[in-house]
Copies of this chain bind each other. A is one copy, B any other.
Amino acid sequence: MPKAADLPTPALVVDTGALEHNLTAMAAALPGARCRPHVKAHKTTALARRQAALGHRSFTCATPREMVGLARAGLGDDLLLANEVVDADRLAGLASLDARVTIALDSEATIDAAARAGLREAVIDVNVGLPRCGCDPAQAGRLADLARAEGIEVRGVMGYEGHVVGLEDRAQRVEQTEQCMALLLKAHEQVGGELVSAGGTGTFDVNTWATEIQAGSYALMDTAYGKLGLPFLPALSVLATVISVSPGYAVADCGLKSLGMDHGNPTIDGATVWFCSDEHVTFGPDSDGSVRVGDRVTVWPAHVDPTVAYHERMHLVDGSDVVETWTIDLRGW
C-alpha cells in the first residue's frame, strides 16, 4: 500500500477517520433528504458517492459542471443548482441530463433563460439578508407565478443565510438564523411547494425552519469553521515538504497556488505561519532545531473550498497509508 510519506508534495490529504466521523455525524443529525450536501466544498464525485451511501441522495451544486458530473456518475436523483445561470448552452446541457434537475431563479431574466432551455423544475431564490443572489422576499410569489406560467414547476424556495453561518457566537447564529428564516417562510407562503432549502455547516443544527440544509464544509472542515465548536473534525490538510531551514524559520513547498487564501494564512501545528508565496510557506517553528530539510509538515488551510479547487486529486490517508486517491473531477465550470 502506498505511504503518505511517499506522496509528491504539495498533496491534498484527507484523514479517513475524520472524514467518516463527519459524514456519519451529519447523517445521524440530518438523515436522508434533511441534508442536501453541497458538493462545491469538495468537488469530488467519489466523496458525493459516500454521502449518498449514507442516505443523502439529493445534492446541492454551485456550477453546471458539478451538476453534469454528478448526473453522469449516476448521482442525479435530485440535483439542485443553488445558483443563477443565464448561459443558454449550459442550461440546455442541464435540461438534457438524465437526472432530476432543479435550478434557482431570482428574476424574470433567469426564468426566461430556464424556460427557453427547457428546464422543468425550479426553486425561487430569496434574499434573506446576504447581499448576493436572491429576490426581494416580497417578489417571490410573483416570480413563482411567472415561472409556472412559463411551464416550470416551482418546488419551493431557497435562501442562504451566508452572513450568519460563520458567526462564532452560537446565540447570535440562532437569533439571526431565525430572522432570516422568517423572511424565507413568508416568501414560501406566497410561493408554495414542498421545499424550504437553506443553511450551511455553521447552522446545520440551528436552522430548524428549513426542510433541508445545504451543508458542504462539514465533510472536510477548515480552520475558520473549526472555531464554531461544531461536532465535525478537520479532515483536510495539505502535506508539504520542508525544502529550506534558516535560523528561526523554515520553508515548505506549498503556497498560494495550493491554498485558498481569502480567510487568511493557513496554520501549522507547533509553528507560526509567517507568510505564503506562490509555492512556499515560511513558518517559525515553536522550538528551534526541530525541523530539517526533507521533513513533512501538515498545513491546515483557512478555507477548504478554494483550496480543493486548486488540486487535481485528494489522497485518503489512514495513519501512514494512502488507502485511496480520488480525482477532484468537478473542478472548473
List A residues at the B interface (Cβ < 8 Å): 8-10, 40, 62-63, 83-87, 89-90, 106-107, 109-110, 127, 131-134, 136, 162, 241, 243-246, 249, 251, 253, 256-258, 260-262, 274, 276-280, 282, 292-294, 303, 305-306, 309-310, 312, 332-333
**Residues in B neighbouring A261, C-beta threshold 8 A:** 260-262, 306
For this complex, 19 residue pairs linking A to B, each with C-beta atoms less than 8 Å apart, are: A9-B333, A10-B333, A40-B279, A83-B253, A83-B280, A84-B244, A85-B243, A86-B241, A107-B244, A110-B244, A131-B249, A131-B274, A133-B251, A162-B277, A257-B305, A257-B306, A260-B261, A262-B276, A278-B305
* Candidates B8, B257, B277, B282; contact of A309 at CB < 8 Å: B257
A109 partner residues in chain B, CB cutoff 8 A: 292-294
A87 to chain B minimum Cβ distance, whole angstroms, is 6
Which residues of chain B have C-beta atoms less than 8 A from A9's C-beta? 87, 333
A303 touches B249 (CB 8 A): no
The A interface, classified by DSSP as helix, strand, loop or mixed, is: loop
Q: Give the contacting residue for A278; candidates B62, B133, B256; CB below 8 A.
A: B62
A318 to chain B, nearest CB (A): 23
CA–CA, A333 and B127, complex, Å: 41
The CA of A279 and the CA of B293, in the complex, are separated in Å by 38
Specify the chain B residue showing the minimal Cβ separation from A43.
B257
Chain B residues whose C-beta falls within 8 Å of the C-beta of A10 in the assembled complex: 333
* Alpha-carbon gap, A134 to B280, bound state (A): 13
| B contact residues around A262 at 8 Å (CB) | 256, 261, 276
Contact A8 B85 (CB under 8 A): no
**Contact present for B132 and A277 (CB under 8 Å):** yes
* Bound CA span A110–B242, Å: 11
* Inter-subunit contact B134/A244 (CB<8 Å): yes
* A89, A90, A132: most-surrounded residue (chain B CB, <10 A): A132
- By the criterion CB–CB under 8 Å, are B249 and A305 in contact? no
Complex alpha-carbon distance, A109 and B75, angstroms: 48
- Assess the B310–A63 pair: CB atoms within 8 A: no
Residue of B nearest to A160 (CB): B277
Q: How far is the CB of A274 from chain B (nearest CB, A)?
A: 7
The residues of B that contact A256 with a CB separation of less than 8 Å are 260, 262, 303, 305-306
Assembly CA distance A303 to B89 (angstroms): 31
Q: A255 to B246, alpha carbons, bound, how many Å?
A: 37
Interface contact B251-A132, CB-CB below 8 Å: yes
Measured between beta carbons, the chain B residues less than 8 angstroms from A106 are: 244
- Nearest neighbor of A65 in chain B, beta-carbon distance: B8
With A and B bound together, what is the CA distance between A313 and B210 in angstroms? Answer: 39
Give complex CA distance A303, B280 in Å: 16
